[in-house]
Amino acid sequence: MADKGSHTSGAAGRAPAADRPTQLRNVVLVGHSGAGKTSLVEALALATGAVNRAGRVQDGTSISDYDDIEHRQQRSVQLSLVPLEWDGIKINLLDTPGYADFVGELRAGLRAADAALFVVSAADGVDGATRMLWDECAAVSMPRAVVVTKLDTARADFDRMVEVCREAFGGENPETVLPLYLPLHGGAPGPDGEPAVCGLVGLLTERIFDYSGGTRAERAPDPELRPALEAARGRLIEGIIAESEDETLMDRYLGGEALDVKTLIQDLERAVARGSFHPVLAAAPPAEGSRHGIGTVELLELVSSAFPSPEEHEVPAVTTPDGRTHQTLACDPEGPLAAEVVKTSGDPYVGRLSLVRVFSGTLRPDAAVHVSGHGLADRGHEDHDVDERIGALSTPFGKHQHPAAKAIAGDIVCIAKLARAETGDTLSAKEQPLLMRSWEMPDPLLPVAVEAHSKADEDKLSQGLARLVAEDPTLRLEQNPDTRQLVLWCMGEAHADVLLERLRTRYGVQVDPVPYKVPLRETFGSAAAARGRHVKQSGGHGQFAICEIEVEPLPVGGGFEFVDKVVGGAVPRQFIPSVEKGVRAQLARGVAAGYPMVDVRVTLVDGKAHSVDSSDAAFQTAGALALREAAAQAVIHLLEPVSEVQVLIPDDYVGAVLSDLSSRRGRVLGTEPVPPGGRTVVRAEVPEVEISRYAVDLRSLSHGTGRFSRTYARHEPMPPQLAAKLREAAEQHQHQH
């Protein structure tokens, strides 16, 4: 980009504001954990004057002071917003976690942003997990620029990283991923003995931006740099021209015409805004006492001039809450109000805090709004269709909130104490309720069963879990009716750790993880007949009930049938439902290992009653005893749930995944290549007891590049040796209790 000369920036700690969408840039920082996203945010904040040289705002706090959990875990675990100001442009930087467990936070950031800075580390390179993050951006057609960080580390090689990025991100056209600047070496020797990066060489402007003196100085390039500069410049110009909307440029360039730098920059900016060209820039931390880190000014220029404003980004489709179509909205401050909660967090002092992207209209303090929610019933999220009055608006800066007078279309703002709104909900005008098309939430696939640590924790558990669910749409809460376990379905172990720590520190609820139980079932493998005899005499009225039953298995999915074949009144009519009730109760408790019994027909064929001592309770007990007696004479199968699993992996890991699935008693149904190539989908049927931790194991097996989905297929008999172990465990549990 061209050097703009002098720049205006915000004062430390002052919240920037925008009056028009054209003054806004919403930029999400994306990259693998450890790539340097948060350090880059701090360097950009320093360059704009939002923080002082110690990285602090006026009250002494850091903009990276977001969450105590992040400090303890030494990594980002949630989406955070840092607003900056540069040349009259308000830049909302959205810093996202790079760890795969927090992909929900990444997708929220992608929803709120209009462009992305994709951060890669020169020290770590580009791995499969980084490619997956690039695919996340591509899936929502997000314009992107690549920032290579950690150029001050040993063996960092910018040219090599550019080629790696071109291969990884360029797809069929690597010429869409090219550098705008080359690093200038000449500082004090780095860790590897080589001269450190001290500035940048602008390829389009053919100027040197030298940071070695503590300030950013511009000068002409040295003669010895000319060959490398001209070769890289020619390649860049050809890449820009190839993406230009002006079809005459290529002919003019090939004809020897010297193209105007201003024209090239304008074409570059348009190509970046369209998402058809991905420039590569370099960044290094500021030297001691310097205000500008290397590349920060160049990044800010790119963001302010080449990244699209909210007006250039399509507003998500909206309907009315009851599903009727609605006209397409534009990013217009005067249009109908349509805003979306992209993140919900809890604060022990402030309460619930909602981060909101305004897509249309203008949001003002104390306004009455309509809250429309999609409802994710399977994850514990209810539908929302209520009116609510919002309080004050604010702009976050680290742990602090600065008051905001309004939030226009395209801006991002915080709202405190929205009691009903959750992540993904739409805020609109009371008189014109709207519902935005939701973004896709990843499916949590790691089950973590928990129990309250104490009676006091049990009393607070439901409220604490409700708050967690409101904050995190990637969490699914399940009260399993078969195993009677409380299960948190999480994205991975790190996600589970954060949720449990948040529950403890933020909401004062201590829970203990317990072994997760897969919901097995039992069924008869053969027919049997038995008598249930419940006869007791202990003074006064006794208990007398005898029933004879026949039990036979039904086909899979047959459920339960109760047949009455009693003749001659051997069991009085009023007690026949009692026998069925007792049988049903025993079916729910199971007869072998404590799992519900299914797919059986129970026929009542005979019995006896007493005119005084028979009762409803007695025949219920007799019915249950009869079923247990029949089970003792029959073959009982344990049925395990089987899931159809689809695993998406790079081709390099297909063999390892197939072998692993086989070791889990999986039956491979087929493999299919995924266009444009390089990845494969493996389809298999696998018992659920074998994949309760597959979310963790697959990540390890594929080095973070694999994903899977699962759907319940059916229950089928478990192998006898495994069933025997479970029966033994159930018997030991009964003896202990």
Select from 627, 637, 638, 597 the least CA-distant residue to 528. 627
CATH number at residue 105: 3.40.50.300
C-beta atoms surrounding 624 within 10 Å: 22
The pLDDT of residue 735 is 64
Q: Residues 49, 176: one domain?
A: yes
Q: Residues 219, 140: one domain?
A: yes
pLDDT of 300 over the 60 cut: yes
The pLDDT of residue 44 is 93
Position 154 in a domain: yes
The pLDDT of residue 180 is 96
The one-character DSSP state at 19 is S
The pLDDT of residue 378 is 62
Average pLDDT over residues 24-28: 97
Two structure tokens written together for 298: 């160049």
pLDDT of 425 over the 60 cut: yes
Q: What is the pLDDT of residues 495-530, one digit of tens each?
A: 999 999 999 998 899 999 999 999 999 999 999 999
- Taking the C-alpha atoms of residue 518 and residue 496, their distance in angstroms, rounded to an integer, is 18
Domain boundary among 514, 533, 553: 514
Length of the chain, please?
Answer: 737
The one-character DSSP state at 416 is E
Q: Residues 93, 164: one domain?
A: yes
Amino acid letter at 6? S
Position 130 in a domain: yes
Instruction: Give the pLDDT band (50/70/90) at residue 678.
Output: confident
The pLDDT of residue 4 is 42
The pLDDT of residue 192 is 59
Average pLDDT over residues 637-642: 94
Q: Residues 673, 544: one domain?
A: no
Position 4 in a domain: no
CATH number at residue 377: 2.40.30.10
Q: Residues 574, 653: one domain?
A: no
Q: Residues 61, 125: one domain?
A: yes
Q: Residues 541, 583: one domain?
A: yes
Position 67 in a domain: yes
Higher pLDDT residue, 56 or 319?
319
Q: What is the pLDDT of residues 118-144, one digit of tens each?
A: 999 998 888 888 888 998 999 899 999
pLDDT of 3 over the 50 cut: no
Spatial contact of 277 and 266, defined as CB atoms under 8 Å apart = no
In terms of average pLDDT, the best of 43-52, 151-160, 170-179, 683-692 is 683-692
Spatial contact of 520 and 718, defined as CB atoms under 8 Å apart = yes
Position 731 in a domain: no
Burial of 220 (0-12, 13-18, 19+ CB in 10 A): exposed
Average pLDDT over residues 155-181: 91
CATH number at residue 488: 3.30.70.870
pLDDT of 254 over the 90 cut: no
For residue 74, give its domain range.
21-312
CA atoms within 13 A on the CB side of 605: 12
Q: Residues 330, 190: one domain?
A: no
- Taking the C-alpha atoms of residue 139 and residue 728, their distance in angstroms, rounded to an integer, is 50
Domain boundary among 634, 659, 681: 634
CATH number at residue 717: 3.30.70.240
The domain total for the chain is: 5
Position 621 in a domain: yes
Q: Residues 529, 630: one domain?
A: yes
Q: What is the pLDDT of residues 308-360, one digit of tens each?
A: 999 999 999 999 988 888 899 999 999 999 999 999 987 766 678 899 999 99
- Taking the C-alpha atoms of residue 416 and residue 392, their distance in angstroms, rounded to an integer, is 7
Domain boundary among 634, 664, 691: 634
The pLDDT of residue 188 is 64
The pLDDT of residue 381 is 63
Q: What is the pLDDT of residues 62-81, one digit of tens each?
A: 666 555 555 555 557 889 99
Average pLDDT, the chain: 88
Task: Out of 42-51, 449-458, 523-532, pick the least confident.
Answer: 42-51
Burial of 484 (0-12, 13-18, 19+ CB in 10 A): exposed
Could you give the strand order of the β-sheet that contains 368-373, starting from the edge strand earlier in sequence?
A: 384-389, 368-373, 426-429, 338-347, 351-360, 412-416, 393-397, 400-404
Q: Residues 42, 122: one domain?
A: yes
Q: Residues 273, 168: one domain?
A: yes
CATH number at residue 553: 3.30.230.10
C-beta atoms surrounding 351 within 10 Å: 12
pLDDT of 477 over the 80 cut: yes
The pLDDT of residue 146 is 97
- Residue written as token pair 């408790």: 589
Position 346 in a domain: yes
Q: What is the pLDDT of residues 215-229, one digit of tens each?
A: 888 999 988 989 999
Position 246 in a domain: yes
Q: What is the SS3 assignment for 611-646?
A: CCCCCHHHHHHHHHHHHHHHHHHCCEEEEEEEEEEE
Q: Residues 629, 686: one domain?
A: no
The pLDDT of residue 70 is 54
The one-character DSSP state at 570 is S
- Residue written as token pair 């930029």: 27
Rounded to 5°, angle at Cα 721 from 716 and 722: 60
